[in-house]
Structure 1
């Protein structure tokens, strides 16, 4: 056995839990992104133990828990800057979800659409619709949606997040001559989320976006959550809403058994592509 391998095996046998979590935190900071399997092999403990460690580190604000692993907080900020890169991920799944979600939209209806690449896929599939009113914080939607489909398109104001090509602020508009904001309602909210969890509901990595998505949901007669199958798993940093706040979950694959059971309990209809 090589000297380095012997040292590694010896270190694994004497590592204490608190020390292990500190080393996990340092390792995630160093490499930016890890999986449960990677950490389990590296530290010589079970996957369940690693999951508990990551959950604790996420709760302490040291890293961001993701489906199947974790990322460093610095990496999360870098990732959010690369919208064009994210647009190249899971493209087939997003297009399927976009097409299915567009089928939920009625002509001459009012819809709210949040930021995110999956919502851009929805916008691209609205070309055969007519007389829509769209309100969004997604700065890319005006360029993606067909002018023939829209009567009016409104962009919510607030701070611009260049990373996500979106705004973060109140879901409201103020009109000249009025002392208060207009009360806004929509027929359907189309909300792309970062994670879907049986216990944690719908979540995302950014607090401001989570608040904004929650407001859109509260103002909608119907709500469709959009999430490809990579989003199933542990909740992210900021909780958006309970599973039961949605009428539909539009996705590309059957959810895992625990999430499927929770969605059924809450009366959420899962919409899948044909043949899935």
Structure 2
């Protein structure tokens, strides 16, 4: 493999890593092979650099490559990528959310890695009734935490490992729909701004909106990277939620809008 004449391959490791992080940020998603060819170094060297940059939070390591940690999130990322993003923030959000859930409660959880963290945080609860479109939750939640666990049917989105469809159940095939309600909906969203909550997919937005409609109380879950942003599909205006659980307080404009909408803010 030839080394580019620009001398990139001869730079000190710190300089190469900075260039590598900038290259990933500029391209959004790259493979190890692409990086090795671009920088004129071995694949093993690239892998070591990526591992270190992932630990430093400069990018997100994926199988066979990396994606930008500073991507605005305007396109969907696979679940394997999102599971490695804002891990500590999601866990702190999950702990607060779990404290809102009483034993014996009926709750709804939507798709997302934040709600997977909530499912794990419910391990010490008992007698819950849970309805979800998140196909990973049955494997993540402790069996001792729930009495009944229901998964909504519908089309499966492989990128989110969740179903998209109506928030309904029937007593039997072809039978009438059962009117369902819950004490608390825990809904992870993709973005929040002064106009409300939004996400990147129309089907997901419709399902999340229906979960909110069927809940006595709604807690919106979003880490601070999602605050002050707007995505393609609006889920609901701010006033449809009762709580926002996040890892850091929003900036003043959004903070004032939440207060005006009577949304209680919960942070660690």
Alpha-carbon offset, residue 135 of structure 1: 0.2
Aligned to 1:230: 225
> Could you report, residue by residue, the CA deviation over 1:49-101 in whole angstroms, capped at 9, with x for unpaired residues?
xxxxxxxxxxxxxxxxxxx97577xxx2xx43x20111000000000000000
Q: Are 1:217 and 2:215 an aligned pair?
A: no
Q: Work out which of the residue numbers 187, 191, 199 in structure 2 matches 1:191.
A: 187
Aligned to 1:107: 103
Aligned to 2:177: 181
Alpha-carbon offset, residue 233 of structure 1: 1.6
C-alpha distance in 2, partners of 1:185/1:71?
32
> Could you report, residue by residue, the CA deviation over 1:142-168 in whole angstroms, capped at 9, with x for unpaired residues?
111110010000000000011100000
C-alpha distance in 2, partners of 1:256/1:115?
26
CA 1:156–1:189 in 2, change beyond 3 Å: closer, same or farther?
same
What are the within-5 Å matches in structure 2 for residues 34-53 of structure 1?
none
C-alpha distance in 1, partners of 2:102/2:111?
21
CA 1:231–1:71 in 2, change beyond 3 Å: closer, same or farther?
closer
Aligned to 1:142: 138
SS state at 2:216 partner: strand
> Could you report, residue by residue, the CA deviation over 1:228-266 in whole angstroms, capped at 9, with x for unpaired residues?
000012210000001011110000001111111000001
Q: Are 1:243 and 2:231 an aligned pair?
A: no
SS state at 1:225 partner: strand
Calculate the aligned-residue CA RMSD, in Å: 1.8
SS state at 1:130 partner: coil
C-alpha distance in 2, partners of 1:224/1:89?
21
> Could you report, residue by residue, the CA deviation over 1:205-250 in whole angstroms, capped at 9, with x for unpaired residues?
0100000000000000000000000001221000000101111000
C-alpha distance in 2, partners of 1:102/1:155?
20
Q: Are 1:160 and 2:156 an aligned pair?
A: yes
Alpha-carbon offset, residue 179 of structure 1: 3.6
Aligned to 1:261: 256
Runs of 4+ in 1 over 2 A off after TM superposition: 30-33, 68-72
